[in-house]
Amino acid sequence: MHSSTLKAIEKVLKAEGKVKPSFDEYCVLKALMTLYEEEPVGRLLLSRKLKMGEAATRTLIRRLRKEGLIAVDSIGGCFLSDAGKKLVSNIRKVVKEVKVFQKAQLGSLALGNVACAASIACGCKLFERGLRVFDLRDEVVRFGGLAALIVKIEHGEAILPANGGQVFSEKDYPELKMLKTELKADEGDLIIVAYADSEEAAEKALLNALVKGKVSAIFES
C-alpha cells in the first residue's frame, strides 16, 4: 500500500474523464520541490523550470491547487499551502538531498555527461525487502537514465557494490567520499546516481524511479 505521499501525487495525475494530463510524477515532484525551495514562484518561471508549455503548467497549477497543495497569489505567484509544506517535508525526510554533478566532478565514476544523485534515508532497508542492487539500477534506466550507480553507506564509508559480489571502497574511488559528503549521507543511507546526457534527463530518471518504480517502497508505511 502506497503512503499518503504517493497517493497525493497520484491524485494530481488522475485523469479527468478520459483526459490524462500531459505531465508525469516527475513534473509534480519537481514543482513541489521548487516551490519548497524558492516560493513564491510565478507561472512563467515555473514553466521554464519544469520545461513545460504554459498550458500544461496552468493545468498542473490548477490540479495542485484543487488538491489543496498550493495557493496562488495574483501578484506573488504560487506557494505551498500548509498541506503542501507537510507533503514536501515528508518527502525530504526520505529523500534527504538531491544534487546534480558534472562529468568532471565524478572522475572515474562518470558514466555519462551529467548525473543527478539523491541520498535516501535508511535506504539500505530496501535490500531487506528483497530488492537487489541491479533491480534499482534497472529502474533508473527504465525511466530514461543511461546508467546508474547504487552506493551504500556502511560502517561510516561509502561503498559501491559491483557484479560478482565485488565491493569497491572510498580508497578505490575517492569520488565516493565526495558523494557521501555532498549528499549528507549517513550510516544506513543509500545513494542513487542517475546518469544521462542532460541535467533534465538525469533528474527525471532519478525522481521518476523514486516515486514510480520499485524504489518507491521507501515511501511505504
Answer yes or no: are the C-beta atoms of 43 and 60 closer than 8 Å.
Answer: no
Distance CA 175, CA 173 (A): 5
76-82 contacts, C-beta under 8 A, 24 or more apart: 76/40, 76/42, 77/39, 77/40, 77/41, 77/42, 77/43, 77/45, 77/46, 78/35, 78/39, 78/40, 78/41, 78/42, 78/43, 78/46, 79/35, 79/39, 79/40, 79/41, 80/32, 80/35, 80/36, 80/39
- Would you write out the chain's pLDDT as a tens digit for each of its 221 residues? 357 888 889 899 988 877 888 899 999 999 999 999 998 999 999 999 999 999 999 999 999 999 999 999 888 899 999 999 999 998 999 999 999 999 999 999 999 999 999 999 999 998 888 888 888 999 999 999 999 999 999 999 999 998 777 899 999 999 999 999 999 999 999 999 999 999 999 999 999 999 887 778 887 74
**C-alpha to C-alpha distance for 17 and 6, rounded to whole angstroms:** 21
pTM: 0.90
- Reading the block at residue 95, the C-alpha cell is 529523500
| Distance in Å from the first CA to the final CA of the chain | 8
The CA-atom distances, in angstroms, between 153 and each of 95, 119, 180, 220 are: 15, 10, 8, 21
What Rg do the C-alpha atoms of the chain give, in angstroms?
Answer: 18
At the topology level, CATH places domain 4-80 in Arc Repressor Mutant, subunit A (1.10.10)
Q: Locate the domains of the chain by residue range.
A: 4-80, 96-219
Whether 8 and 191 have beta carbons less than 8 Å apart is answered as no
Of 217, 204, 155, 151, the C-alpha closest to 182 is: 151
> Grid coordinates in use for 79?
506557494
> How would CATH label the architecture of 96-219?
2-Layer Sandwich (3.30)
Fold matches, 4-80 and 96-219: no
